[in-house]
Structure 1
Amino acid sequence: MNNPIIDEARLWLGTPYLHQASCRGVGADCLGLVRGIYRALYGREPQAPPPYAAYAIPHDGEILLEAAQQYLEAASVPAQVGQVMIFRMRRSLPARHLAIMSFEGRMIHAASGLQVCEVAFSAWWQRRLIAAFSFPPLSPVSIPEQEQA
């Protein structure tokens, strides 16, 4: 079950939670985790995000969802292994959390106040899932050298 997205995501396990950060082993939030995986797979991010609030502000729109629509490929729910999942924590607020679907009903995410961890994709999370997206296809050029061997 080799998957370059999950392999990279698992390298981030234990990275402390740090709002707006995206540095493996140093600090990351949920967006920073996805940004870091994207950089590792494709060499760079499509665009650095502007500063963002640590909490959902009702009037700031669906910034996270719109960015995913712009830079990732829409997928159907339920998510498949290696896809980015987007969650709305409250119905009245914009989507504000991301995770990567892992194997065997698990997900990898940066947990606020904790660290990047792999946890059960439980019913609680499933109820809040609003969208899934795939990373763009990997070409042999974009796969890290150690995986091409």
Structure 2
Amino acid sequence: MTDRVVAIARMWIGTPYMHQASVQGVGADCLGLIRGIWRQLYGAEPETAPAYTADWGECSSHELLLQGACRNLVRCKPDCAFAPGDVLLFRMRPMAVAKHLGVLSEIGATRRFVHAYSGHGVVESPLSAPWQGRIAGRFRFP
């Protein structure tokens, strides 16, 4: 399953960034990427994502993305080893709500992840120390 998740995520690379979108090759944001992977794995999404503004994480203290991940994905325990296919949830600032998602694509000395990043589209990036320090949770597709 983990290899399949990574392969699907990599098929989205090059998709332009588009807020609230989830169409491979057309547009996606970080949630849209995860939604698209879900659809390719299972078919219908488990729930409909509500409309959200681009600045929703700055306007609220509710952990909406974390709560959604807990409802629909399997949370990794802190002592669980990192594995390709893990869904990473990030806090972009300390004490802020978690508001960014990606899929771990490589482990080892050169950890990498696939994510939809504003201004860049869907890309594969190094999971550098600053990114690792922002991880608020890790999940796996059921």
> Larger radius of gyration, structure 1 or 2?
1
* Matched pairs, number: 135
1:52-131 matches, within 5 Å, as 52-55=52-55, 56-77=57-78, 79-104=82-107, 105-131=111-137
CA deviation map 1:38-59 (0-9, x unaligned) = 0000011001100112121353
State the alpha-carbon separation in 2 of the partners of residues 73 and 86 from structure 1: 13
CA deviation map 1:74-116 (0-9, x unaligned) = 1134632101000001123211000000114100000111110
State the alpha-carbon separation in 2 of the partners of residues 133 and 58 from structure 1: 25
Percent of aligned positions that are identical = 46
Gaps of 5+ in 1: 137-149
Gaps of 5+ in 2: none
Name 2:138's counterpart in structure 1.
132
State the alpha-carbon separation in 1 of the partners of residues 131 and 77 from structure 2: 16
1:1-16 matches, within 5 Å, as 3-16=3-16
Amino acid at match of 1:100: V
State the alpha-carbon separation in 2 of the partners of residues 13 and 40 from structure 1: 15
Q: Is the 8 A contact 2:91 2:99 kept in 1?
A: yes
Give the structure-1-normalised TM-score.
Answer: 0.86
Q: Is the 8 A contact 2:14 2:122 kept in 1?
A: yes
Indicate the SS of the match to 1:102: strand
Bigger proportion of residues as strand: 2
Amino acid at match of 2:9: A
